[in-house]
Amino acid sequence: MGDPQLQAWFDAIDIDHSGRLDSKELQRALAMGNLHYGLNDVDQMVRAFDVGRSRSLDFSDFCRLHYFLVNVQNSFQTFDRDRSGRLTPDEVEHALQQAGFQLDGPAMMAMISKFDPDNSGSLSLDEYIRTCLFLQTAARTFDAFDPERSGQVHLRFNQFVYAASHVGAC
């Protein structure tokens, strides 16, 4: 991934010139793009895209996160049909289906409830990004326990705790 503009942005926000972005550096970068997240949310992003498990992003990790955010923002704009700046449950369902997530009704409503702190019944862009990040991390964690890709896992309690800690609290 050799996008010179992304490389220049990465270099500009890599304050300590380590070649890696920690959560605080990424938080500042997201804020420059008008995406304001708490440190816990940003740490969750880092963990989701940090292939080397160092709790920081190299340029390649950063590119994957950037493209994820661009795709999620584009999805949000596509499915926000009334241009309200919020996705209704029906719009969220269609957007997530387009992204490859097939959730049943109760799971969908649980997701919306979890990521709708103002209890509006719809999701803003930042809430939708959190939802997509959670689902991506949950899918990756689930897949680690489902090597045959059967769609089912059986976990001992310790495995469940391990899996839940990797999905995080988003």
Q: Indicate the pLDDT class of residue 170, thresholds 50, 70 and 90.
A: very low
Instruction: Give residue 166's pLDDT band: very low, low, confident or very high (50, 70, 90).
Output: confident
Look at residue 86 and tell me whether its pLDDT is greater than 50: yes
d(CA 166, CA 115): 18
For residue 32, pLDDT over 90 is answered with no
With tokens 């045959």, the residue in question is 148
Length of the chain: 170
Q: Dihedral of CA 78/80/84/85: which sign?
A: negative
Mean pLDDT, range 70-86, rounded to an integer: 95
Structure tokens that stand for 66 in this block: 């950037």
Which tokens sit at 17?
């010139």
For the cut 60, the answer to whether the pLDDT of residue 169 exceeds it is: no
Q: What is the pLDDT of residues 93-151, one digit of tens each?
A: 999 999 888 899 999 999 899 999 999 999 999 999 999 999 988 888 899 899 999 98
Question: Inter-axis angle of helices 89-98 and 105-114, to 10 degrees?
Answer: 110
- State both tokens at 7: 């490389």
pLDDT at residue number 13: 92
What was the pLDDT predicted at 168? 63
Residue 56: pLDDT over 60? yes
User: Global pTM?
Assistant: 0.85
Residue 72: CA count within 13 A, CB half-sphere: 21
Lowest mean pLDDT among 9-18, 71-80, 95-104, 158-167: 158-167
As a whole number of angstroms, the distance between CA 30 and CA 68 comes to 13
| Residue 21 phi, psi dihedral angles, 5° rounding | -105, 125
154-164 as b/e: b if 16+ CB within 10 A: eeeeeeeeebe
pLDDT value of residue 2: 67
Res. 1: pLDDT tops 70: no
Q: What average pLDDT does the segment 151-169 reach?
A: 84
**pLDDT at residue 19 above 90?**
yes
CA nearest 46: which of 73, 66, 16? 66
Largest CA distance in the chain: 47
Q: How far is CA 104 from the centre of its chain?
A: 20
